[in-house]
Amino acid sequence: MTDLLRWTRRILEAGLTLAVLAVMVIEGLTLVAPALGARTLVISGGSMEPTIPHGSYILAVRQPAASYAVGDIVTVQQAGRTPYTHRIVRLATLNGAPYLETKGDANATADPAIVPVASVVGRVALQLPLLGFLAALLATPLGLFGFIAVSGTLSCLVWLVENLEAGECPTCAETAENLPVPEAGEAQAA
């Protein structure tokens, strides 16, 4: 029983630790990104799979216009549209201004229109698979409340299991004292 309690506690502690670390990474990047001339985003589609899976949390860092090259993965946001992250497949110049053509790795064809380099948010410098789901969850009041509730529950479970391991649970000790002890040679019912 002691081994079971020890492993249960370790699993609960590991889950709690991973959840707290994930939130620290997300919040840290979100706070630091603007100082780096960068932006954090959640990948909400599968157009860049398998390179960048759906639900990834990315950091897109702004670069000088001349530094973008074919093969770079960039996030683009045009006025009034949702940002998207695709790979540059061609560079072009239109009326003296730099433009680029993009394509999602999972898409069969390039995007329908070339976009001005001025619309590029930045080059993807970091991607953290699955953390985008947590970031999206934490961005809503209900999701934040749920995360706090789950973390609190895990903390209480860790505390309870620690007390059980140490034998400091008065209710458990009282219950154990009141359990009938089988006599030698008596059969126990399952």
Tell me the domains of the chain and their CATH numbers: 41-130 (2.10.109.10)
Residue 74's Cβ-count burial label (10 Å; 0-12, 13-18, 19+) is buried
Report helix, strand or coil for 123.
Answer: strand
pLDDT of residue 74: 97
Using CA atoms, how far apart are residues 14 and 28, in angstroms rounded to an integer? 21
Q: What share of the chain is helix, strand, coil (3-state, %, to 5)?
A: 45, 25, 35
Per-residue pLDDT tens listing for the chain (190 residues) = 677 888 888 999 998 999 999 999 999 999 999 998 899 999 999 999 999 999 999 999 999 989 999 999 999 998 889 999 999 999 999 999 999 999 999 999 999 999 999 999 999 999 999 999 999 999 999 999 999 999 999 999 988 888 887 776 666 656 656 656 667 665 555 5
Using CA atoms, how far apart are residues 160 and 166, in angstroms rounded to an integer? 10
Closest of 16, 106, 26, 90 to residue 58, by C-alpha? 26
